[in-house]
Amino acid sequence: MIIDKVLDKVTGKLEKLKIMGFKDEAEAGTGTWSTALKEDRYEAYINPEDYKLDYKIKYECEPGVIGSDGKQFKFSYVEADTLTFKLLFDDTGIIDGDIRNVLKRPNSGVYDDVQKLRKLLVKYSGDTHRPKALVLVWGNTIFKGNVTDLSIEYKLFNANGEPIRAVVNVKFVGSVDQNKQAAKDKKSSPDLTHIFEVLAGDTLPLMCKRVYGDPKYYLQVADVNGLGNFRRLKPGMELVFPPIDKTTN
């Protein structure tokens, strides 16, 4: 049986997996549950039993040195992260303890619930010419990306042939804002834009000292990243450090 495990650290209440849909990655980067449209919000009735995160690094194979046995591998790029999990939809009554009418309920909400989730995850939008940019939040996991694979398996049916249980397999691929992605791709020179992750104990002046050799550029970096309060850096957040003309004030 699927077991709900994540509790809100403040209230102690059960925290449900949430998925939000937004117009694009830029909107998803600043979006919240309250700012997402009602039809673009999904909260799991039953949390996943587990989930899987995959990270892959690509290398190019180069010819080995004459006389040697092995091949040379050169770093190429880091693939986008992937997240996979299963969601259970159940209207048999077993989950909520009402098993008196198992397989005999005249109306099942499973099909409608599954279709609502399907539309959020993969429906094509004519306005943006793409599916929604998605944000998944559960416990300490925040994953931004798009669905690449979605499979639905209906497992039990009532007397009318309507599904009363379904298992949905979902695979997300991670994404970042295009400006940040461009910065990540420019790896060849310290004079180009880079992105660095905030570590515990980091301050913006300290990070500027590390990047530019001088902490005085922190206001420029704060402005580029839209930081209203540069003193409130959270470990794990990513900051863009653009080229700085050190010959001008």
Domain boundaries defined on the chain: 18-175, 179-241
201 exposure class (CB count in 10 Å sphere: 0-12, 13-18, 19+): exposed
Looking at the DSSP bridge assignments, the partners of residue 54 are 82
220: pLDDT strictly greater than 70: yes
| Residue 4 or residue 41, greater confidence | 41
Q: Name which CATH class applies to 18-175.
A: mainly beta
Task: Find which of 12-21, 199-208, 240-249 is predicted with most confidence, using mean pLDDT.
Answer: 199-208
Tell me how far apart the alpha carbons of residues 41 and 134 are, in angstroms, rounded to a whole number. Answer: 10
DSSP class of 139: T
CATH class of 179-241: alpha beta
Q: What is the per-residue pLDDT for 15?
A: 85
CA-based R_g, the chain, Å: 23
What is the per-residue pLDDT for 153?
Answer: 97
- pLDDT band at residue 7, thresholds of 50, 70 and 90? very low
Q: Which helix (H) or strand (E) holds 185?
A: helix 178-185
| Reported confidence tier of residue 59, pLDDT bands at 50, 70, 90 | confident
Query: Which are the contacts of 80, defined by CB distance < 8 A and separation ≥ 6?
Result: 145, 173, 174, 175
pLDDT digits (tens, 9 = 90+) for 100-142: 444 445 555 799 999 999 999 999 988 888 999 999 998 878 8
- Of 187, 226, 222, 189, the residue nearest 208 (C-alpha): 222
Tell whether the model's pLDDT for residue 74 goes beyond 90.
Answer: no
Among the listed ranges 36-50, 64-78, 141-155, 166-180, which one has the minimum average pLDDT value? 64-78
| Cα gap 135→204, rounded to integer Å | 27
Look at 194 and 22; give whichever has higher pLDDT: 22
